[in-house]
């Protein structure tokens, strides 16, 4: 079993806390250590492919937390994005045999200690930047992800041979399983791999990733963003489902109420339109925040993560629901217009009937 001489486990928690965040105003309000996030581009790539705009990273000094036999570092990073997303990052140093990561992986799966601590920190940051956010609200959704970054191993051997010899252990670490996995499960767990050189590799799975690279800042940034994007897709999907329910209820109101309100509740119709607009803006904001086309390796890594997280399927489902919501809103709007025109037609008919009957009434009564 190869020995890890130095490594770090990064634990990520993604939240949605607002419709949007003014990062410049938030930077002025936060007193902790902070910096604007950039992609390091360790490999040759155009410098102008970065975040648009650059997110704000806040570093907080904290008390270390015990996770089994491991202890977190005494610093936590909170990264804020302009579209209202937030990532909380914990780091856990480790060394020893590769198999020692198995109990750590199992302990981090659905870890309530870190989950509750991350939510508390998100609420504290939201309170500190409350005047810089639009429509603040910490979502009930959370998406966690674990990245095992291995800087050095001894004895050294080619990456391809290491994966071949340790495929069972690597798969168990990725799946947080202490029991041995079937060959099908092992093959699936380690199937998404990306390498730039002969001495590095990133294995991406749905719950965690293993990064064998001593300079992995850009890799960690891409995986962090992909995890946050997954959270935003889940959050958006739920918002649109709620909007569809509201639209259906608006469309299904009692006939008497339709006549009184000319076909629909204007406030409900406005809410449907507002939810559709907010969802569309958030969808575009998330998808346009990270520009990777100039760095082919990072773009390949992002595509690998997107495939493992099924982001393409989430995108398709959300676009389809947005189109459905837009269609329902159009039908409700058309119904409102039709009801109003019908009421106006009846008013005109009544006025014409009165104008015709009025002379006969005057001649008959003499008044």
What does residue 324 show for φ and ψ, rounded to 5 degrees? -65, -45
Q: Where are the domains of the chain?
A: 3-216, 226-358
CA 65, 70, 73, 74: dihedral to nearest 10 degrees? 30
At residue 32 the predicted structure's pLDDT band, cuts being 50, 70 and 90, is low
Cβ atoms within 10 A of the Cβ of 357, count? 10
* Per-residue pLDDT at 49: 45
Mean pLDDT of the 292-298 span: 69
Where would I find the H helices in 295-310? 296-309
Cβ atoms within 10 A of the Cβ of 81, count? 28
Q: Is the pLDDT of residue 175 over 90?
A: yes
Q: List, for residues 55-109, the tens digit of each pLDDT value.
A: 888 888 888 999 988 999 998 999 999 888 899 999 999 999 999 899 999 999 9
For 259-289, b/e burial (b = at least 16 CB within 10 A) is eebbbbbeebbebbbebbebbbebbebbeeb
Q: Is the pLDDT of residue 259 over 50?
A: no
What is the SS3 string spanning 39-101?
A: CCCCCCCCCCCCECCCCEEEEEECCCCEECCEECCCEEEEEECCCCEEEEEEEEEEEEEHHHH
Q: List, for residues 44-66, the tens digit of each pLDDT value.
A: 444 444 667 788 888 888 889 99
* Per-residue pLDDT at 354: 81
Kind of pairing, strands 208-212 and 143-154?
Answer: parallel
Q: List, for residues 7-19, the tens digit of each pLDDT value.
A: 999 999 999 998 8
Q: Is the pLDDT of residue 260 over 60?
A: no
Alpha-carbon 116 to chain mean position? 19
Q: Is the pLDDT of residue 36 over 90?
A: no
- Can you tell me which residue has the tokens 């058309």? 334
Q: Which of 148-157, 182-191, 314-323 has the highest mean pLDDT?
A: 182-191
Alpha-carbon 353 to chain mean position? 61
Asked if omega into 53 is within 30° of 0 (cis), the reply is: yes
User: Smallest Cα–Cα separation from 42: which of 299, 306, 302, 295?
Assistant: 295
Size (the chain), residues:
367
């Amino acid at each position: 079993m190869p020995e890890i001489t130095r490594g770090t486990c990064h634990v990520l928690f993604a939240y949605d806390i607002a419709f949007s965040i003014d990062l410049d105003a938030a930077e002025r309000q936060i007193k902790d250590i902070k910096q604007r996030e950039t992609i390091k581009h360790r490999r040759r790539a155009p410098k102008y492919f970065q975040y648009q705009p650059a997110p704000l990273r806040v570093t907080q000094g904290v008390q270390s937390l015990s996770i089994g036999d491991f202890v977190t570092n005494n610093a936590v990073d909170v990264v804020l994005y302009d579209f209202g997303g937030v990532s909380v990052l914990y780091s856990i140093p480790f060394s020893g045999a590769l198999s020692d990561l198995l109990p750590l992986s199992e302990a981090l799966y659905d870890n309530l200690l870190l989950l509750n601590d991350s939510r508390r920190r998100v609420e504290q940051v939201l309170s500190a930047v409350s005047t810089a956010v639009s429509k603040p609200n910490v979502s009930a959704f959370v998406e966690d992800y674990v990245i095992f970054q291995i800087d050095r191993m001894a004895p050294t051997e080619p990456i391809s041979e290491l994966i071949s010899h340790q495929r069972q252990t690597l798969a168990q670490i990725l799946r947080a399983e202490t029991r041995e996995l079937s060959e099908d499960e092992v093959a699936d767990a380690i199937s998404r791999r990306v390498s730039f050189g002969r001495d590095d590799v990133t294995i991406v799975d749905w719950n965690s990733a293993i990064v064998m690279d001593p300079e992995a800042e850009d890799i960690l940034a891409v995986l962090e963003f992909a995890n946050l994007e997954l959270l935003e897709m889940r959050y958006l999907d739920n918002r649109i489902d709620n909007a569809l329910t509201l639209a259906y209820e608006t469309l299904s109101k009692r006939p008497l109420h339709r006549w009184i309100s000319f076909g629909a509740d204007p406030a409900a119709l406005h809410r449907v339109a507002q939810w559709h607009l907010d969802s569309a803006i958030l969808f575009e904001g998330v998808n346009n925040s990270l520009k990777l086309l100039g760095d082919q390796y990072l773009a390949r890594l992002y595509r690998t993560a997107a495939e493992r997280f099924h982001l393409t399927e989430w995108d398709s489902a959300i676009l389809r629901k947005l189109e459905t919501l837009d269609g329902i809103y159009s039908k409700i709007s058309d119904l409102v217009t039709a009801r109003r025109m019908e009421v106006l037609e009846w008013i005109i008919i009544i006025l014409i009937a009165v104008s015709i009957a009025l002379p006969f009434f005057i001649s008959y009564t003499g008044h």
